[in-house]
């Protein structure tokens, strides 16, 4: 599977690379909303976007972009963020994210969570 990881923090990018390495996915990285939108122009589109919310240009800009493009309709968007205030999950979902994983990432469960999301996408069944 192809995964686009949008994250401005280098250590967080490295952590996700390490945690997902055993599964052998192709991981493409972007450090800003602008860079992510550029990467989304490349074919084939990613199966999954792992999206930091606090980054240059704003993560939700990327979610809105994905949802505005018919050719990206099969792309699953998962917000990764430390913001965990009441109502945030609803705000992310309203902005076009399919799911939300809170930071700090749980190293024991993150990879299996991602596999589960990819599987759900392939089955074309429900999102959250």
Interaction site with Mn ion (CB under 5 A):
8, 52, 54-55
Residue 82 or 119: which CB sits closer to Mn ion?
Answer: 82
Residue 7 or 47: which CB sits closer to Mn ion?
Answer: 7
CB of 25 to Mn ion, least distance (A): 21
125 phi-psi bin (left φ>0, alpha ψ -120 to 50, beta other) = beta
Contact between 79 and 101 (Cβ < 8 Å) = yes
**The residue to which tokens 């205030």 are assigned:** 85
Phi, psi at residue 19, to the nearest 5°? -70, -30
Residue 29 or 52: which CB sits closer to Mn ion?
Answer: 52
Contacts by 10-19 with C-beta closer than 8 Å and gap 24+? 12/52, 12/80, 12/103, 12/105, 15/105, 15/107, 16/50, 16/105, 16/110, 19/105, 19/107, 19/110, 19/111
CB of 99 to Mn ion, least distance (A): 18
CB of 24 to Mn ion, least distance (A): 26
Residue 45 or 59: which CB sits closer to Mn ion?
Answer: 59
CB of 91 to Mn ion, least distance (A): 17
């Amino acid at each position: 599977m192809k995964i686009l990881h949008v994250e401005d923090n280098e250590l967080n990018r490295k952590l996700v690379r390490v945690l997902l390495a055993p599964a052998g996915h192709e991981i493409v990285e972007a450090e800003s909303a602008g860079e992510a939108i550029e990467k989304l122009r490349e074919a084939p589109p990613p199966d999954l976007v792992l999206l930091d919310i606090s980054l240059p240009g704003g993560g939700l800009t990327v979610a809105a972009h994905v949802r505005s493009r018919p050719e990206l309709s099969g792309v699953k968007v998962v917000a990764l963020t430390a913001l965990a205030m009441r109502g945030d999950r609803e705000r992310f979902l309203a902005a076009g994210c399919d799911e939300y994983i809170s930071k700090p990432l749980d190293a024991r469960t993150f990879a299996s969570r991602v596999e589960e999301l990819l599987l759900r996408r392939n089955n074309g069944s429900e999102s959250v």
